[in-house]
Amino acid sequence: MSLDRATFGVSDADLGLMVLEKTEMPEEFLGHQVVREGPLNNEAMAENGFANSTAERFKQAGRINGFMREFGPTSNMSAPDGFNFLAASVAHLFATPDSVVGWMQDVFLKDFEENIGEGVGEGHQLVSAQRLEPKNFFDEAVALRILQGGPTGLISSTVIDFRVGRILGVAFVGTVGDHERMDLATEVGLALEKRIVRIALGGG
Share the mean pLDDT of the chain. 94
Q: How many residues does the chain have?
A: 204
Q: What is the pLDDT of residue 42?
A: 96
DSSP run (H or E) holding 136: none
33-39/63-72 β-pairing: antiparallel
Q: Which stretch of 39-43, 48-52, 71-75, 158-162 has the lowest confidence by average pLDDT?
A: 48-52
Angle (CA) 198-90-175 rounded to 5° is 125
Q: pLDDT value at position 1?
A: 55
The mean per-residue pLDDT over the stretch 170-186 comes to 98
For 47-59, letters b (16+ CB in 10 Å) and e give eebeeeeebeebe
Residue 47 pLDDT > 60: yes
Least confident of 16-30, 117-131, 187-201: 117-131
Cβ atoms 7, 165 nearer than 8 A: yes
Q: Is 19 in contact with 45 (CB distance < 8 Å)?
A: no
**Model's pTM, two decimal places?**
0.95
> How far apart are alpha carbons 79 and 28 in whole angstroms?
14
Amino acid 204: pLDDT: 60
Handedness of CA 42, 91, 95, 159 (dihedral sign): positive
Of the listed ranges 23-27, 49-53, 87-91, the one predicted with least confidence? 49-53
H or E element, residue 86: strand 84-94
Note the pLDDT tens digit of each residue in 94-140: 999 999 999 999 999 999 999 999 988 778 899 999 999 999 999 99
